[in-house]
Amino acid sequence: MKIVMLGAPGAGKGTQAKQIAGKYGLPHISTGDIFRANIKNGTELGKEAKKYMDQGLLVPDELTVRLLLDRVSREDCKNGYVLDGFPRTIPQANVLDEALEKLGDQIDYAIDVDVPDENIVRRMSGRRACLSCGATYHVAYAPPKKEGICDTCGSELVLRDDDKPETVQNRLHVYHEQTQPLIDFYARKGVLRTVDGTQAVEDVFEAICKILG
């Protein structure tokens, strides 16, 4: 079972990807993790990717797909995998499809965790982080015991730049421009399934499990 997770930043697709991986015994594969692992291990592909990352450039699609195929060719992926954060664009999806086709393979499900923009802005701008110990909170859904103070280590909580409403709006704009077309791409292939991401995390997961069986 080969699954691609789709959804805007903050829709909760990463959380769902981890739960799917746990329930079905599939590796949860994110391109960020692949880059980091290859760079850490000093592989040839890692060295190539690092050249781009050190300059603040995006790793080209062709190289990203090579890294991805190297990862999915491993023994733990023989029954499938959950892709989180890739593909992000139509060109990436095309390169991935072509590469899988050569292996006589294809994506089985593209699961779109659908959440309206205003919900995402509300969700993300309510996040608070402790820079000392890494704990995270949400002013509405998971507040600390004492406002603005970390339960774990007592440090001050902050609103990260990434979670500020204007940053979230920018990220959503990029998503709608570049990534949302993937929804049509996978719909045309007949593998798209959409779940309502505004529900509680466990209800979203239950809806996904019904799809996957």
Identify the pLDDT of residue 138.
93
Kindly tell me if the per-residue pLDDT of 105 is higher than 80: yes
Structure tokens at 87: 């593909």
Closest CA to 93 of 61, 115, 121: 61
Per-residue pLDDT at 47 exceeds 80: yes
Residues 118-158 pLDDT 10s: 999 998 899 999 999 989 999 988 999 999 999 999 999 99
The tokens for 1 are: 């079972």
Largest CA distance in the chain: 56
Ramachandran region, residue 190 (left: φ > 0; alpha: ψ -120 to 50; beta: rest): left
pLDDT at 178 over 90: no
Q: What confidence tens digit (pLDDT) does each residue in 86-100 have?
A: 898 898 899 899 988
* pLDDT recorded at residue 171: 86
Strand-by-strand arrangement of the 127-130 sheet: 136-138, 127-130, 157-158
Average pLDDT over residues 1-11: 93
CB 106 within 8 A of CB 97: yes
Give percent above pLDDT 70 in the chain.
100
Asked whether the beta carbons of 100 and 108 are under 8 A apart, the reply is no
Contacts of 16 (CB under 8 A, 6+ apart): 5, 111, 113, 201, 204, 205, 208
Mean pLDDT of 13-17: 92
Residue positions annotated with a catalytic role: 13, 88, 127, 160, 171
* pLDDT top residue among 53 and 17: 17
User: Please, which residues bridge with residue 3 across strands?
Assistant: 82, 109
Q: Sorting pLDDT into bands at 50, 70 and 90, what band is 174?
A: confident
How does DSSP classify residue 149?
B
pLDDT at 65 over 90: no
Q: Is the pLDDT of residue 58 over 80?
A: no
- Identify the CA nearest to 62 among candidates 81, 45, 84: 45
How many Cα atoms within 13 Å fall on the side-chain side of residue 43?
15
pLDDT, averaged across the chain: 91
Residue of 207 and 170 predicted with greater confidence: 207
Across 58-85, average pLDDT:
89
Please give the CATH architecture assigned to the domain spanning 2-115+166-212.
Answer: 3-Layer(aba) Sandwich (3.40)
